[in-house]
Amino acid sequence: MWLESALILIILFGIIILGNNRLSTMIQLLALQSLVLSITPLLIHPSIHAFTMTIVTIVLKVIVMPSLLFWAIRHVSIRREVQPLIGYGKTLLLGGFLMGVAFLISSKLDLPDKGMSNLLVPTAFSLVMIGFLLLVTRFKAITQVIGYLVMENGIFLFALLLLEKTPLLVEMGIFLDIFVGVLVMGIIINHINQEFGSASTVNLTNLRD
């Protein structure tokens, strides 16, 4: 019951992020989504391993990464994603369609039943779809970083199927990769803004040797 409620909240936050254009609100929603996500290991299999994952996830995904993103939007003075590639209404419709595809794909998978929620895999696939949609339909580099992090939340959720098998050291390595990735993207955003006076990745097409 609690796990299903958490998964529904996670998808709901993803949909709201997809339909939003205020960067600060999107970052806050991402932090809330990550907070709910961080407690799912304890809801699936309460243990020292799950508790450690929860603490590390909260520190990195709920505190550190949103703080870096807030620093980025303050530094480049960007508040909104004004002109996405696809309008917000159409993006939501496309997101709904991709979520339906995610549920259809997950229903075809033959996964071992470990007593987990039937919503776990569809939610994971839906987050990957939503994150990918943010990546390809938004021009602001910060919004694309948010899309990348939403995708990673989906991958993290899918990895919980192997919660009892995945070594903690490997998981810590994954978290470190994510942290470094966001840090590098922050540097790229800063350089794009300094060079062009805007953090839109469309400006990258103007680069020459």
Q: What is the model's pLDDT at position 157? A: 85
Query: pLDDT band for position 126 (50/70/90)?
Result: very high
Q: What is the model's pLDDT at position 81? A: 66
Is residue 209 situated within a structural domain?
no
Q: What is the model's pLDDT at position 69? A: 83
The rounded mean pLDDT for the chain is: 78
Query: pLDDT band for position 3 (50/70/90)?
Result: confident
CA distance 66 to 145: 11
Give the pLDDT confidence of 170-189 residue by residue, as tens digits. Answer: 566 566 666 666 666 666 66
Domain that holds residue 20: 2-204
More confident residue, 80 or 20: 20
Q: What is the model's pLDDT at position 51? A: 86
Q: What is the model's pLDDT at position 200? A: 54
Domain count, the chain: 1
Is residue 167 situated within a structural domain?
yes
**Residue percentage of the chain with pLDDT more than 70:** 72
Q: Which of 92-101, 117-126, 197-206 has the lowest mean pLDDT?
A: 197-206
Res 33 pLDDT > 90? yes
Q: What is the model's pLDDT at position 209? A: 44
Is residue 108 situated within a structural domain?
yes
Q: What is the model's pLDDT at position 158? A: 84
Mean pLDDT of 5-12: 92
Report which listed range, 25-39, 71-85, 160-174, is most confident: 25-39
Q: What is the model's pLDDT at position 143? A: 83
Res 169 pLDDT > 60? no
Is residue 115 situated within a structural domain?
yes
Q: What is the model's pLDDT at position 88? A: 77
CA distance 93 to 102: 14
pTM to 2 decimals?
0.79
